[in-house]
């Protein structure tokens, strides 16, 4: 259990990219957006991808995600709050905690929190459809890249990282599938004057989608301009609308 002086800021444990370090993973981005939305004082503790499992275990945080075979998936974010000695190891739970801690800041949840929990699970079942495209430009730390690639290959049952990279027609097929899948999500915006799902002001529903959009903007340099323009430019407007909540790192 982490115990820090109450004078210290909240600590967000996030996955570090290769240099220059930048945030790219979708669920840590949800937490980062939520912290900035609530105007919380926080700092980032960068964790190399190869050290995520050991970091989570050292903090005594149980996994909240699992692979299809039941194997634990040790990932981030983790948030520690020195004012309460609180450790939170799930992006959605972090948002709930922050909304309770900072009641005077705009609320992340304008409706039942259960509805947002269901929406989070729903989006997390759709937005990863484009994730296989990210292998080509994944922002590994060069010093630990081979170790991380080997672990990804083990999980996927593939012999080499090259087998993970989609090219040519196979890549185009996944792009097309991703566009169709996002088209289903785009329908949720048809009653909004935008750029957010509820209108002119964002809430956690936008952050749920926005975390995934940030990952694609960071890992698909060739395809991101096309994705931004899909469905009448909806995703570009949402992505740009969340820019004030990105902060610095």
Could you read off the pLDDT of 90-112 as tens digits, one per residue? 999 999 999 999 999 999 999 99
Single out the residue of 175, 189, 170, 192 nearest to residue 227, CA to CA: 175
Give the mean pLDDT of 39-64.
Answer: 94
Q: What is the pLDDT of residue 70?
A: 85
pLDDT of 155 > 90? The answer is no
The reported pLDDT for the residue numbered 8 is 85
On whether the CB atoms of residues 88 and 40 are closer than 8 A, the answer is no
pLDDT at 186: 98
Cβ pair 90, 72 in contact under 8 A: no
| pLDDT higher than threshold 80 for residue 3 | no
Query: Residue 6 pLDDT more than 70?
Result: no
Q: Are strands 78-81 and 86-88 parallel, antiparallel or unpaired?
A: antiparallel
Please give the pLDDT value at position 63: 85
Record the tokens describing residue 62, joined without a space: 């149980």
The pLDDT score that the predictor gives to residue 44 is 98
Mean pLDDT of 133-155: 93
For residue 7, name the pLDDT band (cuts at 50, 70, 90): low
Count of beta carbons in the 10 Å neighbourhood of residue 34 = 26
From residue 112, alpha-carbon distances to 115, 143, 186, 191, 200 in Å are 5, 45, 22, 19, 20
Backbone phi, psi, residue 104, to 5°:
-85, -15
pTM, to two decimals: 0.94
Q: 123-133, pLDDT tens digit by residue?
A: 999 999 999 99
């Amino acid at each position: 259990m982490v115990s820090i002086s109450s004078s210290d800021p909240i600590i967000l444990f996030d996955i570090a990219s290769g240099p220059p370090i930048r945030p790219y993973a979708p669920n840590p981005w949800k937490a980062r957006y939520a912290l900035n939305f609530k105007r919380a004082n926080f700092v980032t503790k960068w964790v190399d991808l190869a050290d995520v499992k050991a970091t989570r275990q050292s903090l005594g945080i149980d996994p909240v995600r699992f692979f299809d075979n039941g194997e634990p998936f040790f990932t981030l974010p983790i948030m520690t709050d020195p004012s309460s000695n609180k450790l939170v190891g799930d992006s959605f739970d972090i948002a709930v905690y922050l909304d309770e801690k900072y009641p005077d800041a705009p609320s992340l949840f304008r409706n039942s929190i259960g509805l947002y929990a269901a929406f989070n699970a729903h989006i997390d079942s759709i937005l990863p459809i484009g994730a296989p495209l990210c292998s080509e430009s994944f922002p590994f730390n060069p010093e630990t890249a081979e170790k991380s690639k080997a672990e990804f290959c083990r999980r996927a049952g593939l012999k080499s990282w090259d087998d993970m990279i989609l090219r040519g027609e196979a890549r185009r097929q996944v792009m097309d599938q991703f566009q169709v899948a996002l088209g289903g999500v785009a329908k949720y915006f048809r009653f909004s004057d935008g750029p957010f799902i509820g209108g002119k002001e964002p809430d956690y529903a936008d952050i749920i989608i926005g975390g995934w959009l940030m990952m694609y903007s960071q890992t698909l340099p060739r395809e991101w301009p096309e994705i931004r323009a899909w469905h009448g430019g909806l995703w570009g407007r949402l992505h740009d609308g969340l820019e004030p909540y990105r902060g610095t790192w």
